[in-house]
Amino acid sequence: MRDHTGTEPDTPRLTKWLDGRLTRLGVTGVFARDCLLAAVLTVLTFVLLTVLFWIVAPEEGVSLDPTRAWLLVVICCAQAMLLCLRRVRPLLCLALVVGLQLPIIGLSLPEVSVRGIAGFVVAYTVGSLLPVRRALLAVGAVVVAESIGAAVLVTPDLLTAVAYISSSALTYASATVVGGYVATYRRYVELVRVRADEAIREQRTKVQAAIGAERSRMARELHDVAAHHLSGMVVQAAAVERLIDRDPAAAKAGVAWIRSQGKETLDNLRLVVGVLRGRPGHEGGDGAAPVPGLGMLDDLVRTAGNLAGPVEFVREGEHREVSPIADVALYRIAQESLSNARQHAPGAPARVVLRFEPRSVSLEVVNEPAAPRGVPAARTGGVGLVGMRERAQLIGATFTAGPTVAGGWSVTATLPTNGPAASRPREEAPA
Q: CATH number of the domain that 427 lies in?
A: 3.30.565.10
In terms of domains, do 344 and 197 share one?
no
In terms of domains, do 180 and 302 share one?
no
Domain closes at, from 183, 201, 219: 201
Q: What does pTM read for this prediction?
A: 0.50
The answer to whether position 132 is within a domain reads yes
The tally of CA atoms less than 13 A away on the side-chain side of residue 175 is 23
**255 near 240, Cβ under 8 Å?**
yes
The backbone torsions φ and ψ at residue 234, rounded to the nearest 5 degrees and listed phi first, read: -65, -45
Domain closes at, from 201, 228, 254: 201
The answer to whether position 250 is within a domain reads no
The answer to whether position 240 is within a domain reads no
Q: What per-residue string of b and e applies to 349-362 under the rule 16 or more CB within 10 Å gives b?
A: bbbbbbebeeeebb
- Alpha-carbon distances of 368 from 227, 231, 282, 342, 409, rounded to whole Å: 21, 19, 41, 11, 7
Domain closes at, from 201, 226, 261: 201
Question: Which positions of the chain have pLDDT values less than 50?
Answer: 1-10, 280-289, 373-381, 421-431
In angstroms, the CA 47 to CA 415 distance is 87
The answer to whether position 122 is within a domain reads yes
Residue type, position 53, single letter = F
For residue 173, give its domain range. 13-201
CA-based radius of gyration for the chain: 44
Please provide the distance, in angstroms rounded to a whole number, between the alpha carbons at the two ends of the chain.
78
Number of domains in the chain: 2
